[in-house]
Chains A and B, each alone.
Chain A
Amino acid sequence: METRNSDRPLLPPWALRVMAFGALAVLVGAATPPGAAAAAEVQRFLAFYAGVFSLIAMSAAVVSGLIATERMILRIGHRVLAQAVHRASALVGFTFLVSHFLVKVLGGQAAPAQIVVPYAGPVGLGAIAFDLFLIVVITGLLRPRFASAARPWMWRMFHVTAYVAWPVAITHGLTAGRPAANWVVLSYLLCVLGVAMAAFTRLLVTVKPRSVPRGAPDTMPAATVAGQRTTSGQRQEALR
């Protein structure tokens, strides 16, 4: 099942072309004076906010991951959507994280080694968080392989490192660099609150015995089954 055929490539053939053209346009654009000014603006923006956005996206990933198994309110379709949001926001967060430390390192504000090696101090906390997130992201991408492997629970062991990485990242955000602005502190507090609520929900779901629909007819109810069915198009949309 690991095979890919040419009917369904990993990336659509136009994606690579768009990326190549985009990269070329940026390079050419940066060579012109207004383009260079815009590039400098983008760099300044990323230097200040990439880390914050990364943390917010990661928090969204943690929240959507926690509630993705909630069954009291969310229906199956919602839970599929929650998983999609979980993956998408983790990807966005990770992308911002990469641009965060690339801008810092290329701007000379940090040494390349500081990305992965946790030196003492607030920046070191960021390195710890990054290392742990790297484990989570890599094992997350390999999840289907764990399902077929002999010990599927190994995957959970790797994935719970997110619970360590996330608070470390929050601490890093509040302590590293210049003193945090009020709105940043506020948004971090909101993130903490959101994660706490989601964790509480997950706890409830785990502890509370699941209600099983009783008194259903012996044959599979046609209505339920029809409700589960969606066309391929709807399914595609649900995952976007």
Chain B
Amino acid sequence: MRTVTVTGVGGPRLTLGFDRFDRLDLDRHRAMHGGLPAPSLGELVRMVEAADLRGRGGAGFPFARKLSAVARRSARSADGRAERPVVVVNGAEGEPGSAKDKVLLARAPHLVLDGASVAASALGTDEIVLAVESGAAARSVRAAVAERRMPARVVRLPERFVAGQSGAVVRAINGRTPVPPGRRERAAGIGVDGRPTLVSNAETYAQLAVLASLGPDLYATAGTPDEPGTTLLTVGGTTVVEVPFGTRLAEVLDHCEAAAGQGVLVGGYHGRWLDPAAASRAVLSRAGMEAVGGTLGAGIVLPLTPGTCALGEVRRIAAYLAGQSAGQCGPCRLGLPDVVRALDDLADGSGGPDAVRRAAGVGRGRGACFHPDGTARFVLSALEAFADEIGAHRRGGSCGMPVYGVLPLPVPSGEEARLAVDWTRCDGHGLCGHLLPELVRLDRYGYPVLLDFDIPPWMEHDVQRAVGMCPALALRVTTGVRETAVRRS
């Protein structure tokens, strides 16, 4: 795990005590945050509504509505056989640029557990499931659960982009593959073991604990009148900052000794790019971000340092996102590699931004989850934020800068496999293009054009078949590190 520093602008709330302790065990936690409050469901909903607490996992769904939906659902089914709801803490981030939930679970697990307990006791249940991703977070949470002697389950999730979607988390807890379910169903309705389930992000529960112990009036002493409280940001992938809503983005970047550089990505890899001018105006709140065309998402802020090719960086992330698709939905499976192809054409000057817009538009609103939408948002906002840079690429086929790969991605394991063609053997039979339309296109002579792309797990089966079917035995799979790590682009 990368070392993550934690700082804050204004007074710390969730990160209270982080300056003195590496991890807050139960005694330290109680000394910092006081006893565990136990508000009734009505009180809790009123408090949450007063503070307008939203989910902190990216979608920003009002927490009060989620809470009441689960309560309604479990009350309605209570007449026949009592269906006790389940409270799920979603600690999966999936985003390589996010570290706040890992840090929170690893260093202040009791705050998250407090929030989950408050929600559970208000809903009249004691079933809590914690879904976590990293090993450090899992150890910390297990230790915390043991300290409190509470009956909570801890479930490990794979580090995968789409595994953090709430439906995927519920599926993982139910012992199935953590991919988004085919139909968008509210977890409030059918969740863990088919029971009403409250799923929210780890930070949301921590905020709920703080809100329950401070009360809405004290809670609102930080932040803006419309959006009270604080939020956790991950800046540059390695710094977690707690800031009150309404703080200027520029101030946060200064605090983290970062500069806006060529532009700032807000909201993670499903978020939007802000050009330096917009970044200097941006205010960290939902309304403030909307005003400059950004999004707060899960609080990810990634400034792009000068000196690296912005378009190449965007292509690198788009290829990662295409590979992170679960491969379930056609528009996502076939459309996202197409976006990468369009970006390649844009980078070498043979294509234009319109082709990228068309390719990105294919998946919009057409999938089990919001992965194609989020990817389209990311790519389309890049076209606007880096218009000058794209102009240079279109004129000269290059901006003259190398791609350093500054945006965080999971560290390659060396197991990544790619397709390769023995060109002396290939005879343009075209079977690979037919069997692997995601990775292979045929040129006008019928020879394959391969996408420079790590083969995702869901494609391995098709790849094996294509390799086995190549009439010329020219197609094969290679592994290992690419020969050219830095590509002039």
Which A residues fall within an 8 A CB radius of B? 1, 3, 5, 7-8, 68-69, 71, 76-77, 79-80, 83, 143-144, 146-148, 152-153, 155-156, 210, 212-213, 216-217, 219-221, 224-225, 228-232, 235, 239
Contacts and interface: CB of A to CB of B under 8 A. Distances in A.
Given A1-B417, A83-B431, A155-B473, 12 more contacts: A1-B477, A3-B460, A7-B177, A76-B431, A79-B431, A80-B434, A144-B464, A146-B473, A147-B474, A216-B444, A224-B444, A230-B434
B434 A224 contact: no
Nearest to B351: A219
B442 A69 contact: no
Contacts of A212: 445-446
19 contacts: A1-B477, A76-B430, A76-B434, A80-B434, A80-B435, A83-B471, A143-B473, A144-B464, A144-B468, A148-B477, A152-B422, A212-B446, A213-B444, A213-B445, A216-B444, A219-B351, A220-B449, A224-B444, A228-B433
A76 B417 contact: no
A83 to B, nearest CB: 6
B350 interface: yes
Contacts of B334: 229
A69 B465 CA distance: 17
Most chain B C-beta atoms within 10 Å of own C-beta, residue among A146, A147, A148, A229: A147
Interface in B73-118: none
Given A1-B417, A69-B471, A230-B437, A80 B431 contact: yes
B10 interface: no
Nearest to A212: B445
B437 A228 contact: yes
Given A213-B445, A216-B444, A228-B442, A235 B464 contact: no
B429 A69 contact: yes
B467 A147 contact: yes
Contacts of B437: 228-230
A224 B433 CA distance: 11
Contacts of B460: 1, 3
A147 B461 contact: no
B435 A152 contact: no
Contact of A225 (B350, B431, B442, B461): B442
Contact of B433 (A76, A146, A153, A221): A76
Nearest to A7: B177
B169 interface: no
Nearest to A84: B469
A143 B468 contact: yes
Nearest to A143: B468
Given A213-B444, A220-B443, A152 B473 contact: yes
Nearest to B440: A228
A219 B464 CA distance: 29
Contacts of B457: 5
Contacts of A147: 467-468, 470, 473-476
Contacts of B434: 76-77, 80, 228, 230
Nearest to A144: B468
Interface of B is mostly: mixed
A219 B443 CA distance: 8
> What class of interface size applies to chain B in its complex with A?
35 or more
A72 B243 CA distance: 68
Nearest to A5: B457
Contact of B471 (A5, A68, A224): A68
Nearest to A140: B468
Contact of A148 (B433, B435, B476): B476
Interface of B: 177, 330, 334, 350-351, 417, 422, 425, 428-431, 433-435, 437, 441-446, 449, 455, 457, 460-465, 467-471, 473-477, 479
Contacts of B444: 213, 216-217, 220-221, 224
Contacts of B469: 80, 83
Contact of A152 (B425, B429, B433, B479): B425
Contacts of A228: 430, 433-434, 437, 441-442
A3 B457 CA distance: 10
A103 B469 CA distance: 34
Nearest to A146: B473
B342 to A, nearest CB: 11
Per CB-CB distance, the 6 closest pairs between chain A and chain B, nearest first, are A216-B444, A152-B473, A144-B468, A76-B434, A229-B437, A1-B477
A202 to B, nearest CB: 11
Contacts of A79: 429, 431, 471
Q: Which of B467, B468, B479 has the most CB of A within 10 A?
A: B468
B432 to A, nearest CB: 10
B352 to A, nearest CB: 11
Interface centre among A8, A71, A80, A146 (most CB of B within 10 A): A80
Contacts of B441: 220, 225, 228
B467 A144 contact: yes
B373 to A, nearest CB: 21
A224 B350 contact: no
A232 to B, nearest CB: 8
Contacts of B428: 210
A216 B350 CA distance: 16
A201 B467 CA distance: 25
A219 B350 contact: yes
A231 to B, nearest CB: 6
Contacts of A8: 461
Contacts of A143: 468, 473
Nearest to A155: B473
A219 B444 CA distance: 8
A69 B474 CA distance: 14
A148 B417 CA distance: 13
Nearest to A154: B473
A156 B215 CA distance: 77
A88 to B, nearest CB: 13
A209 to B, nearest CB: 12
Contacts of A155: 473
A152 to B, nearest CB: 4
Contacts of B467: 1, 144, 147-148
B233 to A, nearest CB: 36
A80 B471 CA distance: 10
